[in-house]
């Protein structure tokens, strides 16, 4: 195996395997005081092929320890071409993984008898051999990513699919024993012609379904027909055990870098979600780097009474903070720079509170070279009520996506409170506890580290800003 030189784009406080490819988080479960994370993993290289389940364990949601690979495709078995995404449940004391075998896409089980280290494929696999016959033709064989929960003495499952030419599907099943599954119908069917408030495209993968704040939250990841990955979409609504009636809808995490999220209900009641942070550079660049993909920070989810999303990074991340720097009460005007006295870094958390007039346009400059040749900007524009991550000058490399990523955000006359996490090639921004915008940027210059305030139109007042260098999660 080729061991690549250290890469300054490798995140330091986001989980990822030491090398090679990862995509979706899988099988999240809290077991005897530890959090278990599984993930789509290719041990053979930094590209998507013959997917295994990697495995890691944490006691605090922040620091992780790598464990041996949990699932490997079995030659001649229903998962011979890959162990694709799925979930984990506690089946009366037996830890059980419920995952997608390919090809064709089927539902498989594996169990562990030694404390989640070794996994045995269940001889009854596949427990569902394909989509329900009455809709199979329209699914084109897309039938994946089982998500299972227990309710009223039964197991329930949702699984992603599509009705070709119409839109995505979340299919609903029920079982007494995880082995015999009865198809109950679609939990939700999409309309690919609907553009507002969110286009949900052609195929839905990785569904999740939870009771949350007196409502139910459904989310899934939307794909276009040719397999372009878009974003995770959520619906909030009412569920009576059989029928789900959505009433609010949106994008779970904006920016088109965060995909295929999976959530875990912690024993303390919080609902915490992680997603796959896709790369935004060419396949050739990923192969040259020797690694691809990282896990997002853990984020808690909630719903307002109107079904709007609440989203915040988990409090446990504060364990990574080093000595802070503070700034306060600055009246900001356009055309000036150097507000933050040389603040710099590429592994940082920044918490900033701004008060601004409705037409103001302002924000932060990140990962900026001293001469500004490389820089990423995070801008709030009052007029358009949008938060944007502007990556058009983020990198001198020709191999990267330099798109501008936008998310709608109304301040309704109030302040803007940002929590920004910069981890080399990863930027995650939380705004007012109401939205998350995630992006990937690949500065090439070693001195692209600067942080500054930026005002295009005032008046704007910085109430306070605190910046912490964050430590790596692999060093205790
Ligand atoms: C989402 C996804 C899942 C599938 C897995 C394969 O990113 O396409 O639908 O199970 O990745 O790795």
| Residue 104 domain-assigned (yes or no) | yes
Ligand 1 atom, smallest distance to 51 CA: 12
Query: 219 with 362, same domain?
Result: no
> Does any domain span residue 92?
yes
How high is the pLDDT of residue 5?
A: 54
Decide: 105 in ligand 1 pocket, CB within 6 A. no
96 within 8 A of 177, measured Cβ to Cβ:
no
Identify the CATH number of the domain in which residue 259 sits: 2.115.10.20
- Identify whether residues 75 and 194 lie together within a single domain: yes
Centre of ligand 1 to C-alpha 84, Å, is: 6
Q: Please say which residue of 316, 333, 360 terminates a domain.
A: 316
Going from the Cα of 35 to the center of ligand 1, the distance in angstroms, rounded, reads 22
Residues 230 and 325 in one domain: no
Cα(371) to ligand 1 centroid in Å equals 41
Tell me the pLDDT of the chain (476 aa) as tens digits.
444 556 889 999 999 999 999 999 999 999 999 999 999 999 999 999 999 999 999 999 999 999 999 999 999 999 999 999 999 999 999 999 999 999 999 999 999 999 999 999 999 999 999 999 999 999 999 999 999 999 999 999 999 999 999 999 999 999 999 999 999 999 999 999 999 999 999 999 999 999 999 999 999 999 997 779 999 999 999 999 999 999 999 999 999 999 999 999 999 999 999 999 999 999 999 999 999 999 999 999 999 999 999 999 999 999 999 999 999 999 999 989 999 999 999 999 999 999 999 999 999 999 999 999 999 999 999 999 999 999 999 999 999 999 999 999 999 878 999 999 999 999 999 999 999 999 999 999 999 999 999 999 989 999 999 999 999 998 54
Asked if 343 and 405 sit in the same domain, the reply is yes
Mean of per-residue pLDDT scores for the chain? 96
Please indicate, yes or no, whether residues 71 and 210 belong to a single structural domain of this protein: yes
**Residue range(s) defining the domain that contains residue 198:** 20-316
260 lines ligand 1 (CB under 6 A): yes
**Number of structural domains in the chain:** 2
Q: Are residues 299 and 370 in the same domain?
A: no
Q: Are residues 308 and 325 in the same domain?
A: no
For ligand 1, atom 12, the nearest C-alpha belongs to 84
Domain-embedded: residue 204: yes
Ligand 1 touching residue 84 (CB < 6 A): yes
For residues 146 and 98, the answer to whether their CB atoms sit within 8 Å is yes
Please tell me the pTM assigned to this model: 0.97
Q: Is 23 in the pocket of ligand 1 (CB under 6 A)?
A: yes
Residue 359 has what pLDDT? 94
Pocket lining: 142 vs ligand 1, CB cutoff 6 Å = no
pLDDT for 1 equals: 41
24 lines ligand 1 (CB under 6 A): yes
Domain assignment present for 382: yes
Query: pLDDT value at position 452?
Result: 98
Q: Is the dihedral of CA 369, 290, 283, 199 positive or negative?
A: negative
Tell me, yes or no, whether 5 lies in a domain.
Answer: no
Contact (CB, 8 A) for 223 and 206: no
- Give the pLDDT score at 402: 92
Same domain, yes or no: 354 and 415: yes
Q: Which atom of ligand 1 is nearest to the CA of 206?
A: 9
- Residue 25 CA, ligand 1 centroid: distance in Å: 10
Residues 189 and 332 in one domain: no
Which is the closest atom of ligand 1 to the Cα of 229? 7
Q: Is the CB of 40 under 6 A from ligand 1?
A: yes
User: Long-range pairs for 388-396 at CB < 8 Å and ≥24 separation?
Assistant: 389/255, 389/427, 389/429, 389/437, 389/439, 391/280, 391/439, 391/441, 394/367, 394/441, 394/442, 394/443, 395/441, 395/442, 395/443, 395/444, 396/443, 396/444, 396/445
CATH number of residue 347's parent domain: 2.60.120.560
Q: Which residue has the tokens 């007012």?
A: 432
On whether residue 6 sits in a domain, the answer given is: no
| Within-domain flag for 7 | no
* Minimum-distance ligand 1 atom for the alpha carbon of 85: 10
Cα torsion angle, 443, 259, 409, 350, sign: negative
What does the angle CA 236 – CA 298 – CA 147 come to, to the nearest 5 degrees? 50
Query: Which of 86, 145, 292 to probe ligand 1 with, by most ligand atoms within 8 A of CB?
Result: 145
Which pLDDT tens digit goes with each residue over 174-209? 999 999 999 999 999 999 999 999 999 999 999 999
Quick check: CB of 144 below 6 Å from ligand 1?
Answer: yes
**Residue 115 lies inside a defined structural domain of this protein:** yes
CA of 369 to the centre of ligand 1 (A): 37
Alpha-carbon distances of 13 from 270, 319, 321, 392, rounded to whole Å:
22, 11, 11, 25
Do 334 and 311 share a domain, yes or no?
A: no
Q: What residues act catalytically? A: 24
- Beta bridge partners, 128, equal 107
Structural domain ending residue among the three candidates 316, 340, 366: 316
Cα-to-centroid distance, 24 and ligand 1 (Å): 7
Q: 188 and 328 in one domain? A: no
Same domain flag for 52 and 100: yes
CB atoms under 10 Å from CB of 439, counted, come to 27
Last residue of a domain, one of 287, 316, 345: 316
């Amino acid at each position: 195996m080729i061991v690549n030189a250290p890469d300054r784009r490798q995140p330091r406080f986001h989980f990822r395997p030491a090398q090679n490819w990862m995509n979706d988080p899988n099988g999240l479960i809290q077991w005897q005081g530890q959090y278990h994370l599984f993930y789509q993993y290719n041990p053979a290289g930094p590209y998507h092929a013959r997917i295994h389940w990697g495995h890691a364990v944490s006691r605090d949601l922040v620091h992780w320890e790598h464990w041996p690979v949990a699932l490997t495709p079995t030659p001649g078995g229903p998962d011979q071409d890959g162990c694709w995404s799925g979930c984990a449940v506690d089946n009366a004391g037996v830890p059980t993984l419920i995952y997608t075998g390919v090809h064709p896409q089927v539902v498989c089980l594996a169990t562990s008898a030694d404390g989640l280290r070794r996994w045995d494929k269940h001889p009854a696999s596949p427990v569902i051999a394909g989509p329900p016959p009455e809709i199979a033709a329209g699914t084109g064989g897309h039938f994946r990513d089982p998500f299972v929960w227990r309710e009223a003495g039964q197991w329930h499952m949702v699984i992603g699919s599509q009705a070709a030419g119409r839109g995505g599907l979340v299919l609903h099943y029920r079982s007494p024993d995880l082995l015999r599954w009865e198809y109950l119908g679609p939990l939700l069917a999409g309309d690919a012609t609907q553009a507002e408030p969110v286009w949900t495209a052609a195929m839905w993968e990785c569904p999740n379904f939870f009771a949350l704040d007196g409502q139910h939250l459904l989310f899934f990841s939307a794909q276009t027909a040719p397999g372009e990955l878009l974003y995770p979409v959520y619906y909030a609504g009412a569920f009576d055990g059989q029928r789900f009636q959505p009433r609010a809808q949106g994008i779970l995490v904006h920016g088109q870098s965060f995909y295929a999220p999976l959530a875990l209900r912690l024993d303390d009641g919080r609902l915490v979600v992680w997603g796959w942070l896709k790369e935004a550079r060419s396949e050739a660049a990923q192969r040259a780097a020797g690694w691809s993909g990282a896990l997002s920070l853990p984020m808690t989810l909630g719903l307002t009474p109107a079904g709007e999303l609440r989203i915040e990074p988990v409090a446990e991340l504060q364990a990574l903070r080093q000595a802070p720097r503070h700034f306060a009460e600055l009246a900001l005007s356009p055309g000036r720079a150097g507000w933050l006295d040389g603040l710099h870094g590429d592994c940082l958390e920044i918490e900033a509170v701004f008060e601004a007039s409705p037409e103001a346009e302002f924000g932060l400059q990140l990962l900026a070279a001293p001469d500004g040749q490389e820089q990423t900007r995070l801008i709030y524009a009052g007029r358009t009520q949008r938060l944007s991550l502007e990556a058009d000058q983020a990198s001198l490399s020709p191999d990267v996506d330099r798109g501008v990523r936008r998310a709608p955000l109304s301040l309704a006359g109030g302040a803007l409170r940002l929590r920004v996490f910069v981890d080399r090639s990863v930027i995650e921004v939380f705004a007012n506890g109401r939205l998350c915008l995630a992006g990937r940027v690949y500065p090439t210059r070693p001195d692209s580290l600067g942080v500054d305030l930026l005002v295009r139109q005032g008046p704007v007042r910085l109430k306070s800003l605190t910046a912490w260098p964050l430590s790596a999660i692999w060093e205790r």
